[in-house]
Chains A and B, each alone.
Chain A
Amino acid sequence: MKAFLMYRDQDFDVQQKLPWNEQALTQDLELTTLLDAMALGDKFIWDVARRAVLLSVHDVDTIRYRQDILNDCVKNPAIVRDLYAIAVEAIERERKVFWTFFRDMPHTILHRAVEVLELFVGALKKLRQIADEHGQKFASAGFSALFAMLKAELGDDYFARVENHLRELRFRGGALISAELGRGNKGTNYRLRKRAEKKQTWMERIFVRKPPAYTYRIPERDENGPRYLAELQDRGINLVANALAQSTDHILSFFTMLRTELAFYVGCVNLHEQLGQLGEPTCLPVPVAPRERRHSYKRLYDVCLALSMKQKVVGNDGNGDKRDLVIITGANQGGKSVFLRSIGLAQLMLQCGMFAPAEAFCANICEGLFTHYKREEDTTMESGKFDEELSRMSEIVEHITPNAMLLLNESFAATNEREGSEIARQIVSALLEKRIKVFFVTHLYEFAHGFCDKEMGNAIFLRAERQADGGRTFKLIEGKPLETSYGEDLYKRIFGTDN
């Protein structure tokens, strides 16, 4: 039995290795803010959401599969939270079932397994009940399959069979164990047998010859005897205790998987509700195959900025279809970094199957998202700032592949502009030839202008908008790079115009 809510035909692998640059992504895109909003204090949801967001999927089908399920969840939030709660409760209660402090023996293992199973049967029955009562409200392929499976596998007769086992394994009528003679005539291969349910007539009872049997009864005053006999029984039930304990583990992993996969959607529902309260739009984005070049958006905003400001923030419209390179220039504090982050976040949200922070969003899937941001100088490092930048860039180059996306923020600014521009030019040109999509926020005028002059057709230039009065809209407009940034404005605003 599988939940299959993250993939059509496979489990969500929580052991899967996160991308090597997960730390840079988390830092540069401020993912923590997003995850906190999804988790609402549930550490488990936080962990799962983090994995789901960082472990982007690269195929349109899986993204759509999750989007459909998310759609169901947004429509039935209470039922989804109920399912999640059932899984959580089963897992938490299992944890509390007593384990002995000493070495476990088969009978203690078996006893615990029976108790846990009784508890799990209760939880499974509840799942089955939800499937029966609310199944028809769900339209997605994922939920339909889950509910159909619960109904098919967990029928009343199945529950009866399980409960029968649980009764038998308490050995009220004694334990029947087979054995053979091993080394030194000691018994070996002890194995619990199912006792034949003999329904004999009274005639049979009288006339059928019983096979010979001899009984040994432990004397009253024998203190060790009962312990030895119990050990023989332990040997006999060893395999059955193992099988039952392993079964409880399997059911536990079913609940764990169900909880894990639901956690992602519960997180999405949490986020969706918060953005709704802020009046921010969300949409199910349109994923396009990796080899295409699509990037069109309407009112795309930085979800983390909105969450931390707790208010509606500026969104951007734009169309970067058929473009490989986006160069963003313009005034400081003009919304360039915010825009770059919104591009990165929207891409990760798209690729985990979530909604996008926009009125409309369509982009090609990228096979790997990379960020190269200007970093504060680390005083503990021996290498200089420029060294450090180049070494990080070199690491990226080692991992990046065609159809990946790279976000650069003020890269190569740690040297003079001419050198920085030349390095940036050489790197970016090479990346473009290798079919890597590049967003580059830069003050390197020579670099930006150089690409602009080439009129390549697959590049687009955005500029932080500046109004005639020097005020900022924080919107980006399409426009060629201007030689001066707007630092002077900033200076004026902060220092005033008096000197």
Chain B
Amino acid sequence: MTFHSILFENTEDSIIKETLEAPVFFVDLNLDQIIDTITAGKQEYNLTPFFYSPLNDSDAIKCRHEIFRDLENKGLFENIGSFAQKMRAVRDHLAQAEKLYYKYQKERWFLEAVEIYCDAVTCLMQDLSLADLKSRGFVHFRDYVATYAQSEGFTSVLAETKQLLADLSSVHYSLLIKGNAVTVQKYESESDYSVEVEHTFEKFKQGAVKDYRVKFSSSPDMNHVEAAILDLLAKLYPDIFTYLDEYCAKNATYLDATIATFDREIQFYVAYLEYLGIFTRAGLKFCYPEISGTCKAVYDYEGFDLALADKLIRERASVVCNDFYLQDKERIFVVTGPNQGGKTTFARTFGQLHFLASLGCPVPGREARLFLFDRLFTHFEKEEDIRNLRGRLEDDLVRIHDILNHATSNSIIILNESFTATTLRDAIFLSTRVLERILRLDLLCVCVTFIDELASLSEKTVSVVAEVAPDNPAVRTYKIMRRSADGVAYALSIAQKYRLTYECVKERLQS
């Protein structure tokens, strides 16, 4: 089987995928922040299209898991890193050659680019041949590189490059600058004058003194005097410079297309693993989720919201992890509890996990089984003019209607505080209706709400609650626990704190 891509099994996939825009739910789930962080500093690879393209085939996902697992090997990861660094240097050199003006200068930059490319390929071949590779993708690629690196085309370019560089580094010349003239000739071992000076004044040496060496700009540009000298050197060493001309004409198409594609695509994995490092260094866990397109008994233990955790780690705050599971007929999480208690975070986490799993990436958590969805929908409260209540409620309903029209039983829907723009009675009514339709679709859903009644709507709903500290209800634990909705219990505990419960007040009134 011939190798063509480390990301996609067949090339047609990749061409289609790259035309995609960011999915609509990206902003709601803070996936835009996550992907921005992942791809930061890697703009040259244009990786975002890969992160916009969920896979809908569990085998393709497994393929990527294998490649990720291979790359978790530190040695291989570093090898790929140094390959990428060299390829970047090749591009920089070519861009530089493009910018320059004088022929011998452009040619030398090109020569150096090819040298680095040859080195990158050779090292990669050696590294891969020594690596313990398990993934189908890497094994195929290893074969490809080995064949390429031993091909006649590649080996001859390599040999010519080495010879030419050795020739050029043997050029050792001297300039006699006098007035407005400079005379170029071969260097004849005249002694270093600074050594003589140091020797003469050795006896006065007293200890450390200032460094008077002037730093000259190391700009790659050349002025016309330097260029004129270079031309004279070409006359002084005609063989070497003629060879250089021929070499450049001959090797213009040195770059292999498959190697170039690999260089870009492998960065999808590298970028994600580097991102993952932020969290593993903070003691958080990741796992390869079991992916199923049929079983909806999903779970994740010690999961967290990546965007929030990233922010908390930067602020050196601790990250709270949460577990969830659905079993048997359970399909819908109904999340209730105090504001700022972690309800929305829980909903986002659920969405992020599923989306990242669909990219074939490892996900936050110790152990997970996730569902291979066909589509993911979110409905989050929108920042709008609060006075225009009717308009907003209408808008909410339109959006939800649209979602329900497109959703299938294999979709995932995340509802966050829908219908806040109306009366409680309306909200209960509308929410119940919507949820009933969702129940009928039998799809996976997270519903964040202040309406306790929704939690016990059906055997398919699971009630989870954002917890507060038992001894101080003002303190949020950000833990989401599976239990019945109990808004009253929360109110009671606050009353307790101020000794205003029924019992307390009675007792205080006794005295």
Contact = CB atoms under 8 A, between A and B. Distances in A.
Interface of A: 1-2, 11, 103-106, 109, 153, 161-162, 165, 173-181, 183-187, 191-196, 211-218, 224-226, 228-229, 231-236, 238-247, 249-251, 253-254, 257
B194 interface: yes
Contact of A216 (B205, B220, B228): B228
B223 interface: yes
A123 to B, nearest CB: 12
A178 B232 contact: no
Contact of B194 (A161, A191, A226, A233): A191
Nearest to A104: B214
Interface stretch (B168-176, B434-442, B457-465, B494-502): B168-176
B95 interface: no
A215 B181 contact: yes
Interface in B99-127: 100, 104-105, 107-109, 112
A175 B228 contact: no
Interface residue SS majority, chain B:
mixed
Contacts of A103: 214
Contacts, number: 202
Given A213-B185, A228-B224, A228-B226, A234 B214 contact: yes
Given A213-B185, A216-B229, A243 B198 contact: yes
A214 B180 contact: no
B259 to A, nearest CB: 24
Given A181-B233, A183-B108, A191-B193, 19 more contacts: A104-B214, A106-B214, A176-B174, A176-B175, A183-B220, A184-B100, A184-B105, A184-B109, A186-B222, A193-B174, A212-B186, A216-B184, A217-B180, A244-B197, A245-B212, A250-B201, A250-B209, A253-B204, A257-B206
Contacts of A162: 200-201
Given A162-B200, A184-B220, A213-B184, A253 B207 contact: yes
Interface residues of B, number: 63
A186 B108 CA distance: 9
B210 A192 contact: no
Contacts of A104: 212, 214
A196 to B, nearest CB: 6
Given A181-B169, A247-B201, A187 B226 contact: yes
Given A214-B236, A216-B229, A232-B226, A185 B173 contact: no
Given A165-B196, A177-B177, A242 B213 contact: yes
B509 to A, nearest CB: 52
9 contacts: A106-B214, A173-B178, A176-B174, A176-B190, A194-B196, A216-B184, A228-B226, A229-B182, A244-B201
Contacts of B100: 184
Interface string B227-250: 011101101100000000000000
A3 to B, nearest CB: 11
A404 to B, nearest CB: 32
Given A193-B192, A212-B185, A246 B210 contact: yes
Nearest to B222: A186
Contacts of B177: 174-175, 177, 229, 232-233, 236
Interface in B149-188: 168-169, 171-188
Among A162, A181, A242, max chain B CB count under 10 A is at A181
B105 A186 contact: yes
A212 B190 CA distance: 17
A165 B178 contact: no
Contacts of B183: 213-216
A247 B195 CA distance: 12
Nearest to A249: B209
A153 to B, nearest CB: 6
B176 A242 contact: no
A243 B194 contact: yes
Contact of B212 (A153, A174, A214, A246): A246
B211 interface: yes
Contact of B211 (A215, A242, A253): A242
Contacts of B340: none
Contacts of A231: 216
A177 B174 contact: yes
Contacts of A250: 201, 204-206, 209
Nearest to B237: A181
B174 A247 contact: no
Contacts of A185: 104-105, 107-108, 168, 230
Contacts of A218: 180-181, 225
A247 B197 contact: yes
A387 to B, nearest CB: 41
A254 B204 contact: yes
B203 interface: yes
A116 to B, nearest CB: 12
Nearest to A224: B223
Contacts of A174: 176-179
Contact of B225 (A2, A229, A241, A251): A229
B330 to A, nearest CB: 65
Among A178, A211, A251, max chain B CB count under 10 A is at A178
B222 to A, nearest CB: 6
A254 B178 contact: no
Contacts of B107: 185
A270 B206 CA distance: 29
Contact of B175 (A2, A236, A246): A236
A226 to B, nearest CB: 6
A-B pairs, 7 with minimum CB distance: A174-B178, A247-B201, A193-B190, A228-B225, A213-B185, A239-B194, A185-B108
A235 B226 CA distance: 12
Nearest to B187: A178
B318 interface: no
A214 B231 CA distance: 10
Contacts of B204: 1, 247, 250-251, 253-254
B191 interface: yes
Among B168, B180, B193, B198, max chain A CB count under 10 A is at B193
A239 B196 CA distance: 11
Contact of B180 (A229, A238, A242): A229
B96 interface: yes
Contacts of A235: 216
B104 to A, nearest CB: 5
B103 to A, nearest CB: 10
A183 B112 contact: yes
Contact of B192 (A192, A196, A229): A192
Contact of A225 (B108, B224, B230): B224
Contact of A194 (B112, B171, B191): B191
A287 B187 CA distance: 65
A186 B226 CA distance: 8
A225 B104 CA distance: 20
Contacts of A161: 200
Contact of A180 (B96, B171, B182, B184): B171
A203 to B, nearest CB: 21
A372 to B, nearest CB: 38
A236 B176 CA distance: 11
